[in-house]
A and B are shown apart, each in its own frame.
Chain A
Amino acid sequence: MAFLKQPYLFRLVLQMFDVLIADDEQLARETVKFLLAQCDGIGTVHETNNGKSTLQLVQQYHPKIVMLDIEMPNINGIEVAKQLPDDISVIFITAFSHFEEHMSAVKCAGYLLKPFKDDEFYECFEKARAIQLELHGQAI
């Protein structure tokens, strides 16, 4: 009964996923939070504005879905994604399409080009959630 000691495992049983938003732009973080509020199965939403603390927060809270901006202080999003555990679904959010080629080097559930439409966001997020459900549905 490990999940009783670890709240994030408990939420996994309920098929709820914690999400981490990493973006150096406050307005962008608020937008993602706003959109997430209308999705099902979301646990706690954490946020940060730079690469280093993204890695720290991932270790601390074990979010299963990470929304990553690419241009961030100290460590950029692509480098962050390379250092994340394999069972985390990454969604890149960026305004610049020229990062596309670099993204292929990293495993990610999808990427969103700012400004994006609501539907694009939900579609991308549902894909990441489906991947997590598949992973953890079997584990528990």
Chain B
Amino acid sequence: MMSLIKANKPSNFFVLSATLLWLAVHAVYSHLQYVAFEGNEGAPSWLVGWYELSPWFIVYIFVTVALYTFTKIIEGKDRPIWQRITLHLSTMVLLNVANWISSTALYFIITNVDFATFVPFVQQMLSTTIQLDLLIYLGLLSMSLGLCFHDKRIQEKIEFKNLQTALIDEQLNTLRTQLNPHFLFNALNTAVSLIRLKRDDEAVKALAELSSMLRKILEHKNNSGSKVKEEIAFIKNYLCIQQMRFSDKLDVKISVEDNCLELEIPNMLLHPLVENAVQHGSQLESNRNLVDLNVSRDGDQLLVKMTNRIAENDQHKGFGIGVSNTKDRLAKLYKDYRLDLCANRDGFFETTLSIPISVANV
């Protein structure tokens, strides 16, 4: 309970405002009383009137602060409406009783009235001021509620903004995993080199392949799937550019069964695997790399098999960010999937992926 109160403590600014408000109300009320009784016999001076009325107002400063704290606690959590109403009502009873008792006690102390008359005094006071006190209390309650909702809205706005930033970051991240910036530089450099060497036709081809890749990345909706044939076309674009760069050491073989072409698979699922295969192959010194990609269907499973050559001393410093991203995505998308990446039989690296078709095509 104490920690809850501590956590919901109003700001110093709120406490100061409440103090000033009640001091001002106190002063105005004292003045009105003074004016009303001015000239009457035995009427107290302004200062004495102010002093004797102070208990009824000073205690309200604490009531206001306590009420705001309790309101914050009650509204801080999502509670059912009946619970909220009960909590507000009990707070109301508690605070008002405390208010009446403490302000009367304070009045008795500062005016030296005998405490023997305490109970009848409270009873008499309640019969005259209870409506006014409850009215003031309700006013304070609605103000506190208003402040709470205002706070909540600001909090929500901040959260919404944070969420938006996170979303943009996420989108940028996807873009980065889809198109390795190194590859983009290399592709542009390839086009520049071809133009320099006056091999115009090839330069045109390189730029055309690059722009179809960019088109697919930029125009595709992030969360939707993509057909196998579109994915394969993208991979072919990619491999075509890589072959222009490494014409002396990269061979490509792609075969896709006809009944797989129209199947839906998650967007950009295969490309990182191909990129990984090409990158490992680029470590070869003399041998040509052969990337052999096979897509077939086995019942309700889509099978993707790829082999590529790797250098004998290929240091397997884990896999690139692309492959680890693909693993994350697969784990999120499917309960049942298989992705094996392993080096086997003399200098070949094998990548096997199998995913259920039914889920992919929902």
Contact = CB atoms under 8 A, between A and B. Distances in A.
Nearest to B248: A26
B282 interface: yes
Given A26-B247, A27-B244, A95-B182, A115 B285 contact: no
Nearest to A115: B192
A95 B246 contact: no
Interface stretch (B80-88, B132-140, B183-191, B354-362): B183-191
A34 B197 CA distance: 7
Contacts of A115: 188-189, 192-193
Given A26-B247, A95-B182, A31 B197 contact: yes
A54 B32 CA distance: 101
Contact of A25 (B185, B194, B197, B245): B245
B223 interface: no
A49 B286 CA distance: 8
Contact of A95 (B185, B284, B285, B313): B185
Interface in A6-54: 24-28, 30-31, 34-35, 49-50, 52-53
Given A27-B190, A114-B185, A115-B188, A73 B285 contact: yes
A26 B246 contact: yes
Interface string B238-249: 000000111111
B194 A27 contact: yes
A30 B192 contact: no
Contact of B285 (A28, A52, A114): A52
A32 B190 CA distance: 13
B247 A27 contact: yes
Contact of A74 (B244, B245, B313): B313
A73 B248 contact: no
A122 interface: no
B182 A31 contact: no
A35 B193 CA distance: 10
B213 interface: no
A24 B249 CA distance: 10
Given A96-B182, A114-B185, A115-B188, A28 B282 contact: no
A73 B311 CA distance: 9
Contacts of B197: 30-31, 34
Contacts of A114: 185, 189, 192
A4 to B, nearest CB: 35
Contacts of B246: 24-27
B91 interface: no
Nearest to B196: A31
A55 to B, nearest CB: 13
A35 B189 CA distance: 15
A82 to B, nearest CB: 19
A69 to B, nearest CB: 11
A31 B282 contact: no
A27 B285 contact: no
Given A26-B249, A27-B244, A35-B196, 13 more contacts: A24-B282, A26-B247, A28-B245, A30-B197, A31-B193, A31-B197, A34-B197, A49-B249, A52-B285, A73-B282, A73-B284, A74-B283, A118-B196
Interface of B: 182, 185-186, 188-190, 192-194, 196-197, 244-249, 282-285, 311, 313
22 contacts: A24-B282, A25-B245, A26-B245, A27-B246, A27-B247, A28-B245, A31-B193, A31-B197, A34-B196, A34-B197, A49-B285, A52-B285, A53-B285, A73-B283, A95-B185, A95-B186, A96-B185, A114-B185, A114-B192, A115-B188, A115-B189, A115-B193
Interface of A: 24-28, 30-31, 34-35, 49-50, 52-53, 73-74, 95-96, 114-115, 118
